[in-house]
């Protein structure tokens, strides 16, 4: 057996043993106090039956050529050689560019495929397409589509909310009260983009409580905070109404810090007119909010007074902005914190994303990290990332975005590497119809995911375990070498090899490779990075031999402390230089679904609306505890969470009794958009009339040729509505949806999600 080696993934560092060309066992890094259970998905992942073993082309594309088709996802594939694939793909790229221009290519890749700095699929495909003259790109992320637009306008930054957030050590020492809208789910802190070597959140909360700190969790799910807390379980989607009610108490009981609002904020007076109901006659009081949110008015009053009585940190989870009008929750959370006047004080103020990823609360690096240059994209066309189906179904149609009037490009070729939109994107039936529109769909993937099964040209990629790389994240003190753990499986190649061959065939080989192989690129990126540093680091060969390099961090940070200390020297990047509780720019856009200040908008998918008469359960489609997104769904940790082979759906026991359901039953979850099967788990920690079904179960249609087919495995995106948060951001709204649940009659069909499609031998 080869010696154990250390490597890094988005969900943690580990030491692995290998056997027979696969990962045999993994052990978390020493010193990681709370390693992610998702590491358990790694053993057996390299040679799993879901791996793509060689290049393949969809039968219909190979026989009939490029063109729109409804056969994607239902056709068989033909195995081809690497030389054939390179020639076919190069010829098609040249045809599309010459006939339709580079704007007709959508480089629709997502950044979570590997923690590696060089073998980062999104960077590789974007570098390649830029060498060819560019591509239509996407902005922001499914996780933070609304926040990525609203927060730069109101607080002048987005990334700093996470990478320079108030650190756990500061919270442990100074915070009296954590008020967590959307909870603070430790399951999500297992993950960090680019890798993570420590998971301190659980221990930090333990020490925080030991010092006397208290947590208030406002979430329909009790386990959104692990351990003791004051749990308030509101109607889902009503967080903004709750925050307004708390703000109303602060304003009317002289608990708001008027000096802070005057010195550090812009436009509070405009907002307060709305808050007090001066213009619309509706004070946003606890008595107003109580019937909306399902919480007692007296409890809201008491909470507001508690918040004003000590050092309070207001946190808003990412999940709250993944719904219609999702811009409002983080904006209102920031406004509420501003009214308390504690922004910039140790342990007080505002936080966004604690419990959404491991990054918030960690110390940032004092330096950048090596990265592969992607080059310059000369194509100006882009879409908000969650508007893929809109773009493909509505070419040439105008849309509003962040104060601009744009048009969807006419996409002929979709090039996807490093992501699975069947996990991220809302309304899979609509997505499938959208994917029928392009002339060609190209997918790089190690596994036969649903996206790979909907491709015309399938490129078998290596996993992180089959290639050399290094990685680290901006809030983790370790740059770690990632030597390959095993040889590539079957005919898999890393994306760099694939793109190098394509670039050479298309006449841009030198521009793409710059004459370097993988090892030379790793050394070049490291050495170029090292020249930018103000401290000494070992040579690349020394780093590689050592396996890791510890980097300096900025410790003891409090979010916006510099701004608080001197708002003139450290002005925010907003029009006023201050926190914009009222934004004249947003107000001037005139959008009906986003006002110039935080505002309550009634959701379309919520228990207080007319739609709930038909679909009386509110489904929360949150992130899974057993995997990262949909990655390695076939792994042991993910599979151990399944019920009868399906994704588990949690119900309150009372809702289960009303439907004649017991634990372990297979149920049909449905609305007028689609349906899926899931396995019942009973949990009194789920608010009545709320159900929870995580995203990430690989899409498995009962009838692959039918876009509206029942998903046998439990993917909630067959149910979600494909509509943006607002005209401002067009963020993803896939976290909330109304459904009905009923027991599935008869024997449930087998789950086939992890089986490869039919692949015929190479012709001739």
Strands (E), 535-683: 548-550, 579-580, 617-620, 648-651, 666-670, 675-682
Distance CA 7, CA 468 (A): 10
Torsion of Cα atoms, 421 then 426 then 427 then 432, to 10°: -20
Catalytic site includes residue 544: no
Give the distance from CA 544 to its chain's centroid: 31
Neighbour-count burial for 631-662, b at 16+ CB within 10 Å, e otherwise? bbbbbebbbebbbebbbbbbbbeebbeeeebe
Say if CB 168 and CB 34 are below 8 A apart.
no
Q: Which two tokens stand for residue 663?
A: 């634990």
H or E element, residue 351 = strand 349-352
What is the dihedral sign for C-alpha 709, 713, 715, 716?
A: positive
In sequence order, what are the residues at sequence separation of 6 or more whose Cβ sits closer than 8 angstroms to the Cβ of residue 626? 37, 38, 41, 637, 638, 640, 641
Distance CA 372, CA 375 (A): 9
Say if CB 468 and CB 482 are below 8 A apart.
yes
Alpha-carbon separation of residue 23 from 6, 27, 191, 718 (angstroms): 12, 11, 20, 33
Q: What is the 3-state secondary structure (H, E, C) of 529-561?
A: HHCCCCCCCCCHHHHHHHCEEECCECCCCCCCH
443 exposed, middle or buried (CB, 10 Å; 0-12, 13-18, 19+)? buried
Closest C-alpha to 237, from 275, 182, 184, 296: 182
Closest C-alpha to 749, from 645, 641, 665, 649: 645
Phi-psi region of 515 (alpha: psi -120 to 50; beta: other; left: phi over 0): left
Beta bridge partners of 215: 178
Catalytic one of 11, 106, 110, 529? 110
Q: Which two tokens stand for residue 578?
A: 């201050």
10 exposed, middle or buried (CB, 10 Å; 0-12, 13-18, 19+)? buried
Say if CB 251 and CB 213 are below 8 A apart.
no
Catalytic site includes residue 110: yes
H or E element, residue 129 = helix 121-131
CB count in 10 Å sphere of residue 372: 20
Closest C-alpha to 111, from 130, 132, 126, 128: 126
Closest C-alpha to 255, from 338, 174, 313, 330: 338
Alpha-carbon separation of residue 86 from 92, 199, 417, 453, 726 (angstroms): 10, 42, 16, 19, 41
Closest C-alpha to 342, from 307, 304, 302, 300: 307
Distance CA 60, CA 72 (A): 9
In sequence order, what are the residues at sequence separation of 6 or more whose Cβ sits closer than 8 angstroms to the Cβ of residue 478? 13, 197, 472, 548, 549, 550, 551
Beta bridge partners of 177: 214, 312
Closest C-alpha to 517, from 116, 108, 118, 58: 118
Closest C-alpha to 36, from 487, 571, 635: 635
Catalytic one of 61, 106, 112, 521? 112
Beta bridge partners of 404: 401
Proportion of the chain in helix, strand, coil states, percent, rounded to 5: 30, 20, 50
Alpha-carbon separation of residue 290 from 294, 301, 302, 641, 697 (angstroms): 6, 11, 13, 36, 36
| Catalytic residue annotation | 110, 112
């Amino acid at each position: 057996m080869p010696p154990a080696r250390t490597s890094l993934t988005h969900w943690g560092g580990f030491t692995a043993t290998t056997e027979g060309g696969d990962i045999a066992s993994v052990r978390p890094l020493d010193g990681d106090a709370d390693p992610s259970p998702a590491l358990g998905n790694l053993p057996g992942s390299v040679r799993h039956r879901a791996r793509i073993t060689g290049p393949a082309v969809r039968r219909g594309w190979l026989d009939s050529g490029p063109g729109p088709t409804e056969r994607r996802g239902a056709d068989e594939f033909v195995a081809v050689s690497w030389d054939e694939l390179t020639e076919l793909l190069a010829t098609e790229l040249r045809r599309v560019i010459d006939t339709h221009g580079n704007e007709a290519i959508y480089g629709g890749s997502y950044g979570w495929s590997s923690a590696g700095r060089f073998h980062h699929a999104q960077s590789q495909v974007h570098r390649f397409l830029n060498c060819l003259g560019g591509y239509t790109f996407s902005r922001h992320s499914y996780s933070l589509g609304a926040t990525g637009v609203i927060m730069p306008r109101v607080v002048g930054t987005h990334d700093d909310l996470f990478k320079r957030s108030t650190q756990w050590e500061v919270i442990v020492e100074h915070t009296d009260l954590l008020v967590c809208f959307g909870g603070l789910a430790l399951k999500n802190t297992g993950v960090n983009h680019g890798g993570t070597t420590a998971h301190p959140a659980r221990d930090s909360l333990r020490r925080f409580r030991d010092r006397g700190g208290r947590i208030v969790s406002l979430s329909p799910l009790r386990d959104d905070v692990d351990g003791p807390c004051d749990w308030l379980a509101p109607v889902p989607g009503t967080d903004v109404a709750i925050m307004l009610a708390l703000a109303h108490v602060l304003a009317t009981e002289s608990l708001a810090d008027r000096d802070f609002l005057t010195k550090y904020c812009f436009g509070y007076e405009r907002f307060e007119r709305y808050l007090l109901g001066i213009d619309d006659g509706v004070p946003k009081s606890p008595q107003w909010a109580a019937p909306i949110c399902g919480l007692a008015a007296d409890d809201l009053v008491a909470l507001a007074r508690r918040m004003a009585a000590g050092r309070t940190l207001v946190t808003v989870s990412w999940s709250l902005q993944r719904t219609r009008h999702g811009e409002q929750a983080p904006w209102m959370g920031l406004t509420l914190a501003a009214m308390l006047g504690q922004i910039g004080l140790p342990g007080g103020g505002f936080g966004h994303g604690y419990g959404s990823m491991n990054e918030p609360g960690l110390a940032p690096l004092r330096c950048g990290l090596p990265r592969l240059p992607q080059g310059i994209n000369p194509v100006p066309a882009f879409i908000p990332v969650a508007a893929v189906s809109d773009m493909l179904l509505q070419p040439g149609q105008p849309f509003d975005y962040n104060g601009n009037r744009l048009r969807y490009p006419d996409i002929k070729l979709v090039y996807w590497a490093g992501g699975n939109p069947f996990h991220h994107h809302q309304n899979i039936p609509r997505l499938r119809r959208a994917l029928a529109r392009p002339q060609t769909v190209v997918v790089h993937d190690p596994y036969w995911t649903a996206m790979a099964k909907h491709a015309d040209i399938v490129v078998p990629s290596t996993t992180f375990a089959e290639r050399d790389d290094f990685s680290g994240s901006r809030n983790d003190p370790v740059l770690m070498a990632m030597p390959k753990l095993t040889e590539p499986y079957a005919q898999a190649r890393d994306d760099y090899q694939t793109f190098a061959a394509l670039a050479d065939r298309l006449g841009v080989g030198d521009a793409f490779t710059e004459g370097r192989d993988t090892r030379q690129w790793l050394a070049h990126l490291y050495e170029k990075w090292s020249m930018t540093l103000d401290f000494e680091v070992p040579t690349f060969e020394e780093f590689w031999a050592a396996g890791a390099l510890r980097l300096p961090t900025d410790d003891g940070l409090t979010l916006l402390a510099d701004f608080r200390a001197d708002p003139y020297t450290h002005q925010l990047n907003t029009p006023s230089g201050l926190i914009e509780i009222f934004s004249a720019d947003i107000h001037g856009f005139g959008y009906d679904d986003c006002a110039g200040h935080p505002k309550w908008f009634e959701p379309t998918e919520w228990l207080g609306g007319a739609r709930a008469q038909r679909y009386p359960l509110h489904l929360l489609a949150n992130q899974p505890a057993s995997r990262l997104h949909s990655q390695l769904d076939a792994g042991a940790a993910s599979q151990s969470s399944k019920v009868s082979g399906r994704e588990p759906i949690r119900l309150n026991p009372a809702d289960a009794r009303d439907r004649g359901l017991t634990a372990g039953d297979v149920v049909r979850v449905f609305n007028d958009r689609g349906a899926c099967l899931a396995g019942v788990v009973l949990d009194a920690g789920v608010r009545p009339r709320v159900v929870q079904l995580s995203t990430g179960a690989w899409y498995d249609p009962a009838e692959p040729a039918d876009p509206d087919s029942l998903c046998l495995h439990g993917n909630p995106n067959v149910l979600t509505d494909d509509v943006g948060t607002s005209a401002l951001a067009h963020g993803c709204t896939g976290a909330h949806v109304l459904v009905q649940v009923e027991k599935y009659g008869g024997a449930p069909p087998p789950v086939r999600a992890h089986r490869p499609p039919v692949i015929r031998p190479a012709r001739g």
